[in-house]
Amino acid sequence: MRVLEIARLTAMVAVAWAFLCAPPAHAYLDPGTGSFIFQILAASFLGAMATIKIWWSKVAIMFKSKPKEQIRQQPEAESPTVEAAQVESVPEATGGSVN
Amino acid sequence: MPDNRARASSFRDPSGFVFALDGVVFRQVNESFKPHLDLLMESGLYRNLTESKLLVSHEELSGAELESVRTNLAEKKSAKERRDLSVETSTNGSSCYKVLKPRQIPFISYPYEWSFSQLKDAALLTIGIQKIAMEHAMVLKDASAYNVQFLEGTPVLIDTLSFERYIEGQPWVAYRQFCQHFLAPLALMSVVDMRLSQLSLVNIDGIPLDLAATLLPKSTLLNVGLLTHLHMHSKAQQKYSKNAVQAESQGKQQLSKSGLFAIVDNLESCIKGLKTKEHDTFWKNYYDEHNYSNEAFDNKKKAVSDFLDECAPSVVWDLGANTGVFSRIAAAKGALTISADLDHMAVEANYLKAKSDGDKNVHPLLVNLTAPPPAIGWANEERMSLADRGPADTILALALVHHLAIGNNVPLTQIAEYFSTLARHVIIEFVPKSDSQVRELLANREDIFAGYNQKDFEKAFERFFEPINKRLIEGSERTLYLFGKSISTRPIITSRL
């Protein structure tokens, strides 16, 4: 999981940098526009995160050693979480969230 | 409480509005909202949400009932109310599609009066409803914390007009509001200090994200949810509000349904991950660490119970309730009990206990009685003051009077007068100067409270109430009183009620 954590942090820092370095704007302007556009960017970011999460859980299953008996009895026990599965079921979530 | 005209709290939404008639709240739906209301009812979403007790249920007024409401309104409207044309034109004019009678909410409370877990549960309700709505091709167009109320101990969405048809590609119009009303205060309460919930009192549309981002420590940049929905979101607001051209070109891009789901799902995970800091406060441990012997405590409970039986209230406000020990006596007798205290952790502990017990009658509330929640919003009419939400049948004021009179220098007469505006009966405990708690209050200050004695206490309260009963609490030096409203009471200052 350590590799995933490092990759995640790196991605977060890279994407966040552009936003966090934005100069301050005039407070009287409507901030609603920014919220609208930001969702499109955030969806790509969070969709990619979800994809990595799913990918990593699959890799973890491949390399995780388990007693054969347990695997046969509980074939779905190590499948992605419900949360991840929901995202996975929609193909656009994998970085194609901006149409 | 405003009656017979549109509630000031509902003027922002052109889809309809709320009005009250003879104490009963109705919601008018305008023609413009017809397609969305029809979809809500026909898609199965309404049934799904009301059966799960996530959305308040309603009845549609029949033609005859609607006519009766119109006649009643026309008879009752004063000249000033006629100026508030919305009700008149809308209920009589073509813009009225339907009038709904929602299940009534017995006590309205506001986000700045909730503890951390109350606000968190309200946030999870809202985001959960958004997820269910998306399954029915609808979305929440409002994600205001004021649209959530506590009914029988659990949060419920009260705004039936918050839903609209989902259009594929459109961003979530309530995203900013959700972040400002829920995520920002929860993050601040969780990471910085519980008391920052009070920022919502002066920011009626939620805490500005740039303010939240400034107050949060840098360590929150490592939390994906807070980084995204607060820090980066705040910067995006600043960036695009300055560059309208860039905003316009990027605004043409669309947000897929899966993208929207990813945002909503991440918001939910982020909120679930926010916790309170584990720490105790003075008031939360009050009963464990202070004064009462077991015998005196039991005697006090018995006296409170007997006095409650004597005045048989339906609605009790327990002021200075701490974690709600005495509130539960009233609640067990079937009274809706507002269990108010100024300490965040005490209110939090009270709510968590009520939640785990499934107690439907206890409503914990954060109230600083020396500065009670005021009326706020446009023309000070959008959100009611504490007094506007009364009067209660009975006030419980136990181990409170010395904190008000000595701790905060409020004269006994003014305490009695204010209480007389809040309720018809008062069950109040007098704590003499010889009591260890009062001695502690006076330990490091000059005793300037010559008038703080039992005789003057009785005199002050008998100015506004009739004495009904009094009992010395055995095992202590304290006396419990039951006062009832005197018909001939004439307040010194003009009361709002």
Proportion of chain B above pLDDT 70, given as a percent: 86
Per-residue pLDDT tens over the stretch B250-271: 556 789 999 999 999 999 999 9
**Cβ contact (<8 Å) for A20 and B251?**
no
- Residue B494, pLDDT above cutoff 60: no
Q: Which of B479, B367, B383 shows the shortest CA–CA distance to B422?
A: B367
Q: Which pLDDT value is given to residue A55? A: 85
Rounded to two decimals, the ipTM of the complex is: 0.76
Per-residue DSSP letter, B33: G
Q: Which residues of A touch B237 (CB under 8 A)?
A: 25, 31, 33-35, 38
Q: Which residues of B touch A91 (CB under 8 A)?
A: 258
pTM for this predicted structure: 0.84
Q: How far is A56 from chain B (nearest CA, A)?
A: 17
Q: How far out from the chain centre does Cα A77 lie?
A: 21
**Cβ contact (<8 Å) for A90 and B258?**
yes
pLDDT band at B443 (very low <50, low <70, confident <90, very high): confident
Per-residue pLDDT tens over the stretch B392-432: 999 999 999 999 999 999 999 999 999 999 999 999 999 99
Whether A29 has its CB under 8 Å from any CB of chain B: the answer is: yes
Q: How far is B242 from chain A (nearest CA, A)?
A: 6
Whether A48 has its CB under 8 Å from any CB of chain B: the answer is: no
Per-residue pLDDT tens over the stretch B119-157: 999 999 999 999 999 999 999 999 999 999 999 999 999
Higher per-residue pLDDT: B330 or B289? B330
pLDDT band at B22 (very low <50, low <70, confident <90, very high): confident
Chain B, nearest residue to A99 by Cα: B254
In whole angstroms, give the CA distance from residue B434 to residue B355.
Answer: 38
Provide the terminal-to-terminal Cα distance of chain A, rounded to the nearest Å: 32
**Cβ contact (<8 Å) for B263 and A39?**
yes
Per-residue DSSP letter, B277: -
Q: How far is A57 from chain B (nearest CA, A)?
A: 18
Q: What is the mean pLDDT of chain B?
A: 89
Angle in degrees, 0-180, between the axes of helices B244-251 and A32-63, rounded to the nearest 10: 50
Per-residue DSSP letter, B441: H
Per-residue pLDDT tens over the stretch A12-59: 555 555 555 554 444 444 557 888 889 988 998 898 887 888 888 888
Contact B110, B30 (CB under 8 A): no
- List the single best residue of B230, B243, B258 to mutate versus A (max A Cβ within 10 A): B258
Whether A9 has its CB under 8 Å from any CB of chain B: the answer is: yes
pLDDT band at A64 (very low <50, low <70, confident <90, very high): confident
Q: Which residues of B touch A22 (CB under 8 A)?
A: 235-236, 238-239
In whole angstroms, give the CA distance from residue B440 to residue B429.
Answer: 18
Q: Which pLDDT value is given to residue B201? A: 97
In whole angstroms, give the CA distance from residue B422 to residue A20.
Answer: 49
pLDDT band at B35 (very low <50, low <70, confident <90, very high): very high
Token readout for B84 is 């508030």
Which member of A26, A39, A45 has the closest CB to residue B172?
A39
